[in-house]
Amino acid sequence: IAGAAAFPSVQGVNSPPWTVWAPQKVDGSFATQQKIAIDPAGAVHLATEQNVCSPCSILGAWYYTLGATGWTKELVASSYFLDDFKFDHAGTAHMLLSAQWNDGTGFAYASRQSTGTWTLETINPAGYGVFVASLTFGADDRPYIAYGGPGGTHIVTKSLGMWTDMILNGQGPDGL
């Protein structure tokens, strides 16, 4: 794994092949949600949901990359909860975010461009109240999102620049 030297290990603890990693502090900020992902090149990345300021109550989604000199940190979007974090086959980072308040910002999809900037697209402006979202990619890097929310279980995908949201009838978050 690229950056693995930052995670020192101790060989022979208990018995081989056990390896113990020494803990590493990434950031001093309090994070309420963390997701870790390895890109196709093997580099370690982290996404977190944490306060944007202290002592503020506004949450934000943050992106960390582990490089040779340590971790770098970027604010992806404020006022959002982090739902999921993945890399596509091409190595682009993607996040699913849900609104902190019912203010019309809804359920969103963020992707990191090759320039290092993040684009944020609203998938469902009424997405406040999304339950447990997950993200995956097809072989063609087409995103597929599943989430429970108003009306039932949703499957969302993007094709030709448009998001399509299909509700699975009778499959709400309560399983009824």
The confidence score (pLDDT) of residue 99 equals: 75
The confidence score (pLDDT) of residue 141 equals: 92
Count helices and strands (H / E) in the chain. Answer: 0, 14
The confidence score (pLDDT) of residue 90 equals: 93
Residue 96: strand pairing partners: 84, 109
Consecutive 10-residue averages of pLDDT for the chain (176 residues):
46 48 65 85 88 64 86 86 92 88 70 93 66 86 84 84 79 46
Identity of the amino acid at 28: G
The confidence score (pLDDT) of residue 4 equals: 47
Helix (H) or strand (E) holding 23: none
* DSSP letter string, 124-141: ETT-TT-EEEEEEE-TT-
Q: Which is nearest to 84 in space by CA: 101, 65, 61?
A: 61
Distance CA 146, CA 134 (A): 5
The confidence score (pLDDT) of residue 107 equals: 78
Largest CA distance in the chain: 55
The confidence score (pLDDT) of residue 105 equals: 55
